[in-house]
A and B are shown apart, each in its own frame.
Chain A
Amino acid sequence: QKEVEQDPGPLSVPEGAIVSLNCTYSNSAFQYFMWYRQYSRKGPELLMYTYSSGNKEDGRFTAQVDKSSKYISLFIRDSQPSDSATYLCATQKSSSNTGKLIFGQGTTLQVKP
């Protein structure tokens, strides 16, 4: 079983839509959950991170973690064409003293004007 699974999409939505991006993970030792945005041929850009379960909001973005179901979500409100990118979820064990991140495959999002 893969440690982090993410539907690669592509996901296409009209401008202004609410976008839901999701990942599942297999190891209950994962405690930190990150969302990165990656534009084509660029480096991943850290959007948000959360620890354990719960929600975290930053502007139009909300990250949600449900540890009971091992499910991670990123919601984008009022989506814009500039949000078109690949979104990567990543996890890390709380016991990690080395910082190794484990990434999902990434979901490609296209927001159409």
Chain B
Amino acid sequence: EPEVTQTPSHQVTQMGQEVILRCVPISNHLYFYWYRQILGQKVEFLVSFYNNEISEKSEIFDDQFSVERPDGSNFTLKIRSTKLEDSAMYFCASSPGFSKHYEQYFGPGTRLTVT
């Protein structure tokens, strides 16, 4: 069964460093998302991406964040200058298309630890 994959599973970085989290969405899916989950808190929407453009971004997704689909398979989230409060699980998700936004499939997540 196709699945969303994410690398690395765990990333430790120092405050102020740049990190890139990588995702390979399900191959025939058209919409891609990033969510994050701070330990013990809700899963929060960060950004949605379609046709090489951001469709919507949350208040959390400020200028320190960017997303990119550098090729036909990868989808990345970059945090330019990490802060301690960026420590969280970051989940990538994908969905088949506009009419199936509700059908989102999540990857296993990348645990980001900022020290």
Chain A positions within 8 Å of B, measured between CB atoms, are: 32, 34, 36, 41-46, 49, 51, 88, 90, 92, 96-106
Contact = CB atoms under 8 A, between A and B. Distances in A.
> Does more than half of chain B's interface fall in helix, strand or loop, or is it mixed?
strand
Contacts of A45: 106
Interface of B: 4, 6, 31, 33, 35, 41-45, 48, 50, 55-56, 58, 89, 91, 95, 98, 101-109, 111
B43 A97 contact: no
B111 A46 contact: no
Contacts of A44: 43, 91, 106
B54 to A, nearest CB: 9
Contacts of A42: 108-109
A43 B109 contact: yes
